[in-house]
Structures are given as C-alpha cells and as structure tokens.
Amino acid sequence: MFDLTGKTTIVTGAGSGIGAAIARLFARQGAHVSAVDRDPASAAATAAAITGAGGHASSHACDVSDPDAVGALFDTLSSNGGRVDILVNNAGIAHVGTIEHTTPEDLDRVYRVNVFGVYLCARAAVPIMLRQGGGVILNMASIASLIGVPDRFAYSMTKGAVLTMTRSIAVDYVKRGIRCNCICPARVHTPFVDGFLAKNYPGREAEMMKTLSDYQPIGRMGQPDEIAQLALYLCSDEASFVTGQAYPIDGGVTAV
C-alpha cells in the first residue's frame, strides 16, 4: 500500500519541517522527489538526506511568490517530456497579530507566499498533469482555515483562501484526472516554532512551549512525520476516490 514508485513529486518548502518530512517519506515510498525551497542550502540538505538513504531526489531553489522563478522551475522539471505526478504546495510563512496589528505590507507579504505561491505552482502544474492524463495536488492549509484562531488575522485569511482554492481546483478538474485536497494541521513542532519562541520569549521557551502544546486537547503539538503520513495517503492511489476535501489533523482542536 501507498507505493509511489515511478511517481514524480514536487514538494515546496521542502527544506525543513513538514515539507522535509513529506519529501523524505515520499522518497522512501519510491517517488522521485524534487525538493524545492527558497533557501538552496536547505533544499540541497533534504535532497542529500534522501539520496544518502538510497532514494531519488533533486534540489531546486525557488521563491514560490515569483512568477518567473516558478515558471522556470516547472519548465526545467517538465522538459523533455518530464512528468509531474504529485505537487505538494507546502511552502508558507506565518504572521502573528490581529487586523489592528497587520499592516498592508504584512498582509501582502503573507498573501504572496501562502496564496499567490500556491496559485502559481498549481497553475504551472495543471497543464502538465492534463497532458499526461492526471495527477494529484495537495495543499497545506491549517485549522485556521476552519475555525477562528486568535492573533492570526493575515495567516488565517491566507489559509482560508488555500482551502477554497483547493475545492475550486478539485471541482474544475474532477472529470479530467486531477485530484486536489488540503491538509489542515493544528500546531506542529517544527524548527520555525523553536525559532519563534527563542525570538519572542527568550528565557521563557519551556513555559511558552507548554502553552502552545496545551492548545491541542491531546496535550502536545503534532510532529512533521505525522503530517507526512496523511499527505502520503492523500497523494497515493489508495485515495483515488478523495478530492476536494480538507483534512484536519489537529489533536482534537476542532472536535471540542
């Protein structure tokens, strides 16, 4: 089950955290992974970890908010008849603050990565998938697209857009062989979280880690590998009847 042998996969934001976990797991299941990240060293590190374990991977530096960069990336990956069987739109950035504490510049910065970046990559992938007879797009949304989360105005807005974009793509291409779903995680323990706590709560990291963990009724944050397991199911042939769906993976947040 969940065999991706022969599947060509693009994972954005693959340099760390959830993206890196997805890239590694998909490679273990037989996929050829293109690890894409804005930071070339991080993308290369993920690809090296995969190839060092016997998998197949390449690394690519790309700012997903840049139309020219995204166009060049997909031209490279699809040249000479190359396939794009799976696209995982994982790249994203965060912002903390209510609408009062969100400047137009803040909103534009988060929107360009979290929404425009997903649009650009999906828009580049869809024609390739249509030519080859189908494919899978998986977007990374958030529980913030399903419920209100305090002090996350800009982030929630963008993730809500990801969810509705997911459903729109699913409906438009359901008869043409392309499935599109999204995952809606609660807090996940990634290097971003550690950096955020160190920057904003120096000396109080352990206290704030407990606060963030306790937000999930299960009493902890998720782990990147747990998100990757759900991503694997949704991108595999075992999920061939699933499209247009938003999957919470949240430790019980949306259940209470």
Task: Tell me which residues are annotated as active site.
Answer: 155
Looking from the CA of 135 toward its CB, the CA atoms found within 13 Å total 25
69-77 long-range Cβ contacts below 8 angstroms, 24+ apart: 70/117, 70/120, 70/121, 70/124, 71/124, 73/36, 73/124, 74/121, 74/124, 74/125, 74/128, 77/8, 77/10, 77/34
Six-digit token pair at 140?
């990374």
* Cα R_g (the chain), whole angstroms: 18
Question: Would you call 56 exposed, middle or buried from its count of C-beta atoms within 10 A (0-12, 13-18, 19+)?
Answer: middle
Q: Which amino acid is residue 159, in one-letter code?
A: K
Q: Which segments of the chain does DSSP mark as H helices, in order?
A: 17-28, 40-52, 67-78, 104-111, 117-132, 153-173, 191-200, 205-214, 224-235
Residue closest to 124 by CA, chosen among 169, 160, 182:
169
Phi, psi (degrees; rounded to nearest 5) at 234: -65, -25
Is 89:137 a contact under the CB 8 Å cutoff?
yes
The whole-angstrom separation of Cα 251 and Cα 93 is 22
Judged by DSSP in three states, 41 sits in helix
